[in-house]
């Protein structure tokens, strides 16, 4: 266990950087792309799906905040899982995070290559992907402050774009800006079918995907061990980050389904490009392509940071070689950063080579990427479960605790049930069934590895 220290890492992240890192890990390129399967499945009620998933997100973060305020350790929720549930829970939490960010990292690196093709069409995707991966690896190897600064800028670009999108969209809706000053109004919300266009099943199918779109926000717990004045920073970050994310996601989706008929979104391309173009910004395609490029780099940057700290946590718990504990002169865990970057590099190379021998490899890659959904939910289950036991074991901290989980443990049970129902509908939905089983298979394999090697770990 890491205990209450930060394992020798520097506390150089500010509260603002914590928030930007969490935004970078949560707001991905999917929001900037064209129509999503969620809107196709459920129509305008997709806004309600984002709001409902946001409630679960809020409860997860409040549960995490209560524990972090008392014990801000490196790896946080993985350590809590080991302490309050079982060493297997901590082990699976760490490897789930590594698996999630490895698959996301590979896909985001490939996406970076595709976006750079907009300006450099003659350069192979894997070349640009490797260059960007190398750059971000160096940023993660310097100081945690340098990483925080880079992630803050990446996230700021995304945030500014979304805010502009929402403001311009509301001007189109209310004032008719870009539409000959004829307000579009809100009729698109009810003129193209019922609110729940796909019925209850369609809504639940959409909810399962929406829920995963929020994954990554728990990275705040991983940054806690490297944050200056962690108690203040954690409270400030969690209080503001959830509200920001919900405003950005729900606001952007609301504007999109209000301006454009939801059943015709698949004919538009990117609603962001269309909205900016509509109000006379002729360079909209280039601007949005740049934003998606930074979004992909941001997610990759967050992934390298998050998963490298989880590998460091495994080494702290003596489940990886002590070599993973060695820090650079900048107090950065060198080998974990290189290991994650190396894993992403292998994925980039395989993605470039497999199509030469196996024509179906691209669809397999999509399945593997989607398979991160279940492992990505493991930290949420762990946080909600651990907080119940944490409060029981830390009653002496609760009397003057300023950031307690509201209505616990009933809110914990509600959030856990919502997550379980979401997973159940992923089994029902043919589009998400196989990825879910791949993620489940990964968890089963890692559980077997844990029990086969447990005596070896205990002997260290």
Q: Residue 327 pairs with which residues in a beta bridge?
A: 333
Give first-to-last CA distance, the chain, whole Å: 13
Residue 208: the pLDDT is: 83
Q: How big is the chain by its Cα radius of gyration, in Å?
A: 22
394 vs 84: CA distance, rounded Å: 11
DSSP string, 330-384: TS-BHHHHHHHHHHHHHHHHHHHHHHHH-TTHHHHHHHHHHTTHHHHHHHHHHHH
Please check whether residue 351 is in contact with residue 110, taking contact to mean a CB–CB distance below 8 angstroms.
Answer: yes
What is the SS3 assignment for 240?
Answer: helix
Query: CA angle 407-210-206, nearest 5°?
Result: 115
Predicted confidence (pLDDT) at residue 35 exceeds the cutoff of 60: no
Q: Which residue has the higher pLDDT, 366 or 79?
A: 79
How many angstroms from the chain centroid is the CA of residue 122? 32
CA distance 9 to 334: 11
Is the bond into 281 cis (omega within 30 degrees of 0)?
A: no
DSSP 327: B
Residue matched to tokens 């929720």: 77
User: What pLDDT does 13 receive?
Assistant: 65
Return the structure tokens found at 299. Answer: 């997610």
Q: Which domains does the chain have, with CATH numbers?
A: 15-454 (1.20.1740.10)
- Which tens digit of pLDDT belongs to each residue from 364-391? 555 666 677 889 899 999 999 999 999 9
pLDDT tens profile 401-413? 888 999 999 999 9
Helix axes 46-70, 230-259, angle to 10 degrees: 180
Residue 209's pLDDT is: 80
pLDDT in tens, 178-231: 888 999 999 999 998 899 998 999 999 888 888 877 887 777 766 665 666 777
Is the distance from CB of 26 to CB of 215 less than 8 angstroms? yes
Residues 154 and 24: beta-carbon distance below 8 Å? yes
Residue 30 above 70 pLDDT? no
Pairwise CA distance, residues 108 & 101, whole Å: 10
Distance CA 135, CA 146 (A): 12
How much is the mean pLDDT over the chain?
82
With CA atoms as reference, report the closest residue to 56 among 214, 203, 209: 214
CB 156 within 8 A of CB 295: no
- The span from the CA of 340 to the CA of 165, in Å, is 34
Verdict on whether the full-model pTM lies above 0.75 = yes
DSSP letter string, 388-447: HHHHHHTHHHHTT-SSPPTTTTHHHHHHHHHHHHHHHHHHHSHHHHHHHHHHHHHHHHHH
For the chain, give the percent of residues with pLDDT over 90: 24
What is the distance between the alpha carbons of residues 381 and 401, in angstroms, rounded to a whole number? Answer: 23
């Amino acid at each position: 266990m890491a205990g209450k220290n930060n394992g020798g890492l520097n506390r150089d992240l500010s509260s603002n950087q914590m928030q930007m890192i969490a935004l970078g890990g949560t707001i991905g390129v999917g929001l900037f792309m064209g129509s999503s399967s969620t809107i196709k499945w459920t129509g305008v009620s997709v806004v309600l799906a984002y709001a409902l998933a946001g409630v679960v997100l809020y409860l997860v973060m409040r549960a995490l905040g209560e524990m972090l305020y008392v014990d801000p350790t490196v790896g946080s929720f993985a350590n809590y899982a080991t302490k309050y549930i079982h060493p297997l829970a901590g082990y699976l939490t760490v490897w789930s995070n590594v698996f999630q960010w490895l698959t996301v990292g590979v896909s985001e690196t490939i996406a970076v290559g595709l976006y750079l093709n907009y300006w450099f069409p003659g350069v192979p995707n894997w070349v640009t992907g490797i260059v960007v991966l190398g750059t971000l690896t160096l940023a993660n190897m310097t100081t945690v402050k340098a990483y925080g600064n880079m992630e803050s800028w990446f996230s700021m670009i995304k945030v500014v774009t979304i805010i502009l999108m929402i403001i311009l969209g509301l001007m189109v809706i209310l004032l008719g800006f870009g539409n000959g000053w004829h307000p579009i109004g809100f009729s698109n919300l009810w003129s193209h079918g019922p609110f729940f266009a796909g019925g209850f099943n369609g809504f639940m199918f959409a909810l399962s995907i929406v829920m995963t779109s929020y994954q990554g926000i728990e990275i705040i717990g991983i940054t806690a061990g490297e944050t200056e004045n962690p108690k203040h920073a954690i409270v400030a970050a969690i209080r503001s980050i959830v509200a920001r994310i919900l405003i950005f996601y729900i606001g952007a989706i609301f504007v999109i389904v209000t301006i454009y008929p939801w059943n015709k979104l698949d004919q538009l391309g990117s609603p962001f490009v269309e909205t900016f173009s509509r109000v006379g910004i002729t360079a909209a395609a280039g601007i949005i392509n740049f934003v998606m490029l930074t979004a992909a780099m941001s997610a990759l940057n967050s992934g390298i940071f998050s998963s490298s700290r989880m590998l460091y946590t495994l080494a702290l718990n003596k489940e990886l070689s002590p070599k993973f504990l060695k820090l650079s002169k900048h107090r950065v865990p060198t080998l974990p950063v290189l290991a994650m970057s190396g894993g992403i590099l292998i994925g980039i190379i395989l993605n470039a080579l497999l199509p030469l021998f196996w024509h179906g490899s691209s669809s397999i890659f999509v399945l593997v990427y989607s398979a991160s959904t279940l492992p990505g939910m493991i930290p949420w289950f762990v946080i909600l479960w651990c907080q119940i036991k944490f409060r029981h074991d830390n009653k002496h901290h609760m009397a003057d605790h300023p950031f307690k989980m509201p209505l616990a443990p009933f809110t914990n049970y509600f959030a856990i049930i919502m997550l379980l129902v979401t997973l159940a509908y992923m089994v029902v939905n043919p589009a998400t069934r196989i990825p879910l089983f791949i993620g489940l298979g990964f968890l089963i394999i890692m559980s077997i590895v844990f029990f086969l090697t447990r005596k070896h770990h205990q002997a260290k």
